[in-house]
Amino acid sequence: MAERAGLTTKALRFYEQAGVLPVPARTASGYRDYDDSVLTRLGFVRAAQAAGLTLAEIRTVIEVREDQGPPCEHVTALLDRHAAALDKRIAELEATRTEVRRLRARAATLDPAACGEDGVCQVLPTGAPVSGATPAATPTPRTAGR
Partner DNA sequence: GTAGAGGTTCCAGTGCGGGGGAAGGTCAAG
Partner DNA sequence: CTTGACCTTCCCCCGCACTGGAACCTCTAC
Residues at the site binding DNA, with contacts judged by CB under 7 A: 1, 3, 6, 8-11, 13-15, 27-32, 49, 53-56, 142, 144
CB closer to DNA, 37 vs 109: 37
* Spatial CB neighbours of 120, under 8 Å, sequence gap ≥ 6: none
Alpha helices in the chain (DSSP H): 9-18, 37-50, 55-68, 72-108
Residue 56: contacted member of a second copy, DNA, none (CB under 5 to 8 Å, by partner type): DNA
84 backbone φψ class: left, alpha, beta (φ>0; ψ -120 to 50): alpha
Structural contact between residues 48 and 62, judged by C-beta atoms closer than 8 angstroms: no
CB closer to DNA, 114 vs 120: 120
CB closer to a second copy, 25 vs 84: 84
Give the x/- contact pattern for a second copy in 67-106, rule: CB under 8 A.
--xxxx--xx--xx-xx-xxxxxx--xx-xx-xxx-xx--
Structural contact between residues 61 and 78, judged by C-beta atoms closer than 8 angstroms: yes
Q: Is 18 in the site for a second copy (CB under 8 A)?
A: no
Residue 14: contacted member of DNA, a second copy, none (CB under 5 to 8 Å, by partner type): DNA
